[in-house]
Structure 1
Amino acid sequence: MSKKENNYVLSKDEDLKLFEDSLSEDEETVEVNGFEVLVSQNQQLKNAFIDVLLNLIETLCQSTTELSLEDLNKEESTLFDLTRAGLEVGWLRQKWDVAYLKKEKQRVTGARIRELEEQVRKRKLSLSDLESDLKNEKAAALVAKSRTGFRDIV
């Protein structure tokens, strides 16, 4: 495979034109982004890009409970690679952003819920202690109020 001399990366319109020209010609190789690629490999590349896109879309269709931040970070890397390859995936990037924000909100909300549950647990224990103290004080007050009988003295 030979690389173009000036290392110039073609614009997407130029890439598309090259790609379309390569499909209409019956040559064994075509030039894509400065590289000679076999026509059969070109089709394999298209299929690979479609597979990657479909997998990305499938991942983004999952609920935020099924998605992990690791999954989303991996897909962000995939989006970057697809963009570098010349695919316009801005619309998919927006979907990724929405999924990421939902996941982050879910993470923050989950942490807040756990914090509040811990506060409730501690306050219940504190309330239980207060109720026990109140019961003991009432019992002591009742004993102090009770009349001393003859037998208690003698």
Structure 2
Amino acid sequence: MSRVFKRHPEIASEFRRENPTLRTNYMSFLLGMIETMCQSPQELSKDDMSSAYAAEKGKVSETRLQKMKDELKDLKMKCSNIEALVEKEKAKALDAKLRFSFDDVV
């Protein structure tokens, strides 16, 4: 892979993802494509091409699904944080309502 990244640095930037699963899937996909392209056309049958296409399509879907799961996890965390802030504000508002003013006591 280092040779590929040296020749094509723009590809290397795509592999600097934070999620190691996505990075692994991208690298597997790229290596699979390179292996397929290195074979001569006589070595590849229609079944080979169909299988390669299906595998690549599966990897792309897998990668997209993982990315969506990560985004969903982040959104759930943000929602949880906002819900905690809402509860805190509710408690403050309730506390302010329950406090007596000078006029209530006198």
Q: What TM-score bracket applies, with the shorter chain setting the length?
A: 0.5 to 0.7
State the one-letter code of the partner of 1:82: Q
Distance 1:89 1:80, change over 3 A: farther
How many aligned positions are there? 82
Considering fraction of residues, name the structure with more helix: 2
Q: 1:115 Cα deviation (Å)?
A: 1.0
Give the Cα–Cα distance (whole angstroms) in 2 for the partners of residues 71 and 115 of structure 1: 22
2:41 equivalent to 1:81: no
Note if 1:130 corresponds to 2:86: yes
Residue pair 1:72, 1:96 contacting (<8 A) in 2 also: no
Which of 39, 43, 51 aligns to 1:95? It is 51
Give the structure 2 partner of residue 112 of structure 1.
68
Please give the secondary structure, in 2, of the residue aligned with 1:87: coil
Letter of the 1:72 counterpart: F
SS of residue in 2 equivalent to 1:144: coil
TM-score with structure 1 length normalisation? Answer: 0.45
The one-letter code sitting in structure 2 at the alignment partner of 1:125 is N
- Partner deviation per Cα, 1:10-59 (whole Å, 9 max, x = no partner): xxxxxxxxxxxxxxxxxxxxxxxxxxxxxxxxxxxxxxxxxxxxxxxxxx
Which structure has more relative contact order (CA 8 Å, sep 6+)? It is: 2
- CA deviation vs aligned residue, 1:60-104 (integer Å, no higher than 9, x gap): xxxxxxx743333333333333334x2242211211111111111
Is contact 1:82-1:89 (8 Å) kept?
no
Aligned-CA RMSD value: 2.5
Name the structure with the higher strand share.
Answer: 1
CA offset at residue 136 of structure 1? 1.2
Q: What is the CA-CA distance between 1:120 and the residue it aligns to?
A: 1.2
CA distance in 2, matches of 1:114, 1:100: 21
Cα distance in 2 between the residues matched to 1:75 and 1:118: 31
Which structure has the greater CA radius of gyration?
1
Q: Which amino acid aligns with 1:69?
A: Y
